[in-house]
């Protein structure tokens, strides 16, 4: 029987029952780095891709530390969205069940869109673990229904998204209500400037863990580029989906208004389309998530809120109907497919202003292929940067030709023009030779 490699962390005996039932035998790269640091009670900043096992990297060592005999809040986990909070809370509940400590261990989910008074009543007996969104946690602290001063650790997950959604202020106010030397764990895909200010305020020499790999199953991920060329995004998606018939396609746009518009157009065209963005009411979100679990949709139009937090199993295709500005956001989006060893395809529509992003992604190792959809078939087209490559080749030839020009020993009138003519003749000769060689190869 294979040795469980988590045993090196010397967890409490009940934890191995949890690990067995979770079917965890070997830590992922982020878990190898984070778990020992959390056990040592170090504050840390963690960066890793979607699907890296980050959630259990902090849940496992914190769970191992819970003192069930102490009836007080011991750990706080805060995340930007209700969906992510619900997802993490499900993992916490699962771990409590697997540990056979359901009678003594208490965890509470604190999110908006639920009855506040009922929540306050349930908090009369403090939970050991709190999972929630910053706004609702802070609200309950200010109401006097929740005391966090007893907590020894706080996790701030998806911190850069908290910045984007303007929620970091609430996190700041929550930390003010906690002990000064509370262990703080901040997980974030990127570290924007506003987040740097927050980190400097609350963390002294934190351990920085950056797992810089290419993400899950990169060799099974295909990245296709399609020029938009003033065409309708909905029409282009319709044309493309006739050729691929996705099991489940996640379609990304940059704004919730654009998501509403595109989802409406696709529904009108007869596609079973769901929608996820920050503008949905709690009831609408709940309904969409239920529909997702029931596989009621084949297409989901989403903003980046969905790329970070909501676990949508079975995504076979990603459409970037609008490309993001940040390469990291692109990686998070495409990380929603090709998971757990499955194959996946990302299809991105691009305009002229997207070319700098594509160039950055290509330099980072993303292998794009260039296609268009014409007459109900995929047509391979020239690279998006064909002209740039041609110009670069021309420049390289020019430079090579100049190296071969004979420099005059004495400077005579018109020598520059003479050298330029000679360089042009050499370049043309080199170009002819290259063309002849290419013909022979064919």
Output phi, psi for 25, to 5 deg: -120, -30
Using alpha carbons only, give the angle 268, 375, 224 rounded to the nearest 5 degrees. Answer: 80
Selection from 78, 13, 17, 64 nearest residue 36 by Cα: 64
In this prediction, residue 344 has a pLDDT band, given cuts at 50, 70 and 90, of confident
Among 70-79, 166-175, 182-191, 379-388, top mean pLDDT goes to 70-79
- The answer on 312 and 230 residing in a single domain is yes
- The answer on 66 and 41 residing in a single domain is yes
Indicate the residue among 160, 175, 210 that finishes a domain: 210
Which residues pair with residue 207 across a beta bridge?
44
pLDDT at 215: 46
Mean pLDDT of 112-138: 91
Selection from 252, 341, 261 nearest residue 301 by Cα: 252
- The answer on 186 and 68 residing in a single domain is yes
* DSSP secondary structure letters along 206-221: -EEEE-----SSGGGE
Largest Cα separation within the chain, whole Å, is 98
pLDDT at 424: 73
Segment among 232-236, 279-283, 332-336 with least mean pLDDT: 279-283
d(CA 161, CA 44): 18
- The answer on 326 and 241 residing in a single domain is yes
Strands 153-156 and 75-78: parallel
- The answer on 176 and 276 residing in a single domain is no
Does residue 276 sit within a domain? yes
In this prediction, residue 415 has a pLDDT band, given cuts at 50, 70 and 90, of low
Residue 53 neighbours by CB distance under 10 Å: 17
pLDDT over threshold 90, residue 152: yes
Does residue 441 sit within a domain? no
81 and 309 in contact (C-beta within 8 Å)? yes
> What domain range includes position 34?
5-210
Output phi, psi for 352, to 5 deg: -55, -40
Indicate the residue among 183, 210, 237 that finishes a domain: 210
d(CA 83, CA 112): 11
Does residue 60 sit within a domain? yes
Q: Six-digit token pair at 379?
A: 């047509």
32 and 52 in contact (C-beta within 8 Å)? no
Give residue 381's Cα distance to chain centre.
Answer: 29
Does residue 442 sit within a domain? no
**Phi-psi map region of 79: left, alpha, beta (phi>0 left; psi -120 to 50 alpha):** beta
Q: Describe the strand order of the beta sheet including 344-350 as a list of residue ranges.
A: 273-276, 299-302, 249-252, 317-320, 344-350, 221-227, 368-374, 377-380
Give residue 69's Cα distance to chain centre.
Answer: 38
Comparing 261 with 82, the larger pLDDT belongs to 261
Residue with tokens 């746009």: 253
Segment among 108-112, 150-154, 159-163, 438-442 with least mean pLDDT: 438-442
- The answer on 359 and 227 residing in a single domain is yes
In this prediction, residue 398 has a pLDDT band, given cuts at 50, 70 and 90, of low
- The answer on 238 and 186 residing in a single domain is no
Segment among 59-68, 399-408, 417-426 with least mean pLDDT: 399-408
pLDDT over threshold 90, residue 238: yes
Indicate the residue among 336, 360, 380 that finishes a domain: 380
321 and 237 in contact (C-beta within 8 Å)? yes
Does residue 440 sit within a domain? no
361 and 327 in contact (C-beta within 8 Å)? yes
pLDDT over threshold 70, residue 252: yes
Mean pLDDT of 127-131: 97
* Helix (H), strand (E), coil (C) string for 344-381: EEEEEEECHHHHHHHHHHHHCCCCEEEEEEECCEEEEC
pLDDT at 1: 40
- The answer on 203 and 88 residing in a single domain is yes
pLDDT at 308: 67
pLDDT at 295: 78
E-assigned strand segments in 297-336: 299-302, 317-320
Q: Six-digit token pair at 308?
A: 């970070």
- The answer on 412 and 360 residing in a single domain is no
pLDDT one-digit tens code per residue, 57-109: 999 999 999 999 999 999 999 998 887 888 899 999 999 999 999 889 999 99
pLDDT one-digit tens code per residue, 177-234: 999 889 999 998 778 788 888 888 888 889 999 886 544 434 568 899 999 988 999 9
Q: How many domains does the chain have?
A: 3
Does residue 199 sit within a domain? yes
d(CA 377, CA 372): 8
- The answer on 376 and 249 residing in a single domain is yes
Does residue 57 sit within a domain? yes
Does residue 306 sit within a domain? yes
Residue 289 neighbours by CB distance under 10 Å: 18
- The answer on 266 and 202 residing in a single domain is no
pLDDT over threshold 90, residue 348: yes
List Cβ neighbours of 254 (8 Å cut-off, separation of 6 or more): 303, 304, 322, 324
**Phi-psi map region of 272: left, alpha, beta (phi>0 left; psi -120 to 50 alpha):** beta
d(CA 81, CA 41): 26
d(CA 393, CA 220): 32
- The answer on 98 and 57 residing in a single domain is yes
pLDDT at 95: 96
pLDDT one-digit tens code per residue, 284-334: 877 887 887 777 899 999 998 766 666 677 788 999 999 998 888 888 888
**Average pLDDT for the chain:** 84
What CATH number is associated with residue 132?
Answer: 3.40.50.300
**Within a 13 Å sphere around the CA of 94, how many CA atoms are in the beta-carbon half?**
15
CA distances, 70 to each of 38, 101, 126, 128, 129 (Å): 20, 14, 10, 8, 12
């Amino acid at each position: 029987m294979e040795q469980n490699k988590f045993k090196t962390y010397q967890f409490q005996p009940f934890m191995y029952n949890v690990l067995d039932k979770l079917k965890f035998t070997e830590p992922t790269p982020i878990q190898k780095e984070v778990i020992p640091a959390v056990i040592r009670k170090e504050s840390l900043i963690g960066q890793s891709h979607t699907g890296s096992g980050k959630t259990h990297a902090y849940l496992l060592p914190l769970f191992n530390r819970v003192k069930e005999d102490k009836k007080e809040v011991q750990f706080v986990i805060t995340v930007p969205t209700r969906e992510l909070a619900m997802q993490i809370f499900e993992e916490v509940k699962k771990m409590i069940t697997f540990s056979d400590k359901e009678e003594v261990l208490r965890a509470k989910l604190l999110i908006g869109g639920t009855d506040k008074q009922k929540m306050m009543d349930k908090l009369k007996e403090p939970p050991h673990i709190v999972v929630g969104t910053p706004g609702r946690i802070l609200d309950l602290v200010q109401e006097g229904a929740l005391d966090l001063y007893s907590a020894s650790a706080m996790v701030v997950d998806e911190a850069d998204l908290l910045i984007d959604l303007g929620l970091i202020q609430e996190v700041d106010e929550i930390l003010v209500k906690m002990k000064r030397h509370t262990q703080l764990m901040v997980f974030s895909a990127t570290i924007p400037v506003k987040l740097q200010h927050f980190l400097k305020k609350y963390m002294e020499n934190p351990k920085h863990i950056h797992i810089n790999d290419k993400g899950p199953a990169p060799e099974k991920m295909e990245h296709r580029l399609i020029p938009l060329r003033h065409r309708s995004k909905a029409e282009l998606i319709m044309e493309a989906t006739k050729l691929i018939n996705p099991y489940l396609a996640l379609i990304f746009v940059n704004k919730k208004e654009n998501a509403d518009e595109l989802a409406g157009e696709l529904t009108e065209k007869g596609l079973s389309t769901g929608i996820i963005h920050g503008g949905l009411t709690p009831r609408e979100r709940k309904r969409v998530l239920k529909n997702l679990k029931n596989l009621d949709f084949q297409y989901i139009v989403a903003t980046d809120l969905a790329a970070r937090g909501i676990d949508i199993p079975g995504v076979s295709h990603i459409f970037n109907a609008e490309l993001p500005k940040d390469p990291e956001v692109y990686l998070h989006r495409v990380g929603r497919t090709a998971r757990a060893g499955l194959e996946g395809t990302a299809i991105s529509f691009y305009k002229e202003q997207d070319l700098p992003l594509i160039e950055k992604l290509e330099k980072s190792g993303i292998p794009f292929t260039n296609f268009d959809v014409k007459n109900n078939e995929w047509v391979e087209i020239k690279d998006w940067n064909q002209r740039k490559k041609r110009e670069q080749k021309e420049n390289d030839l020019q430079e090579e030709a100049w190296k071969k020009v004979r420099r005059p020993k004495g400077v005579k009138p018109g020598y520059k023009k003479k050298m330029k003519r000679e360089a042009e003749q050499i370049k043309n000769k080199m170009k002819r030779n290259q063309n002849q060689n290419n013909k022979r190869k064919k």
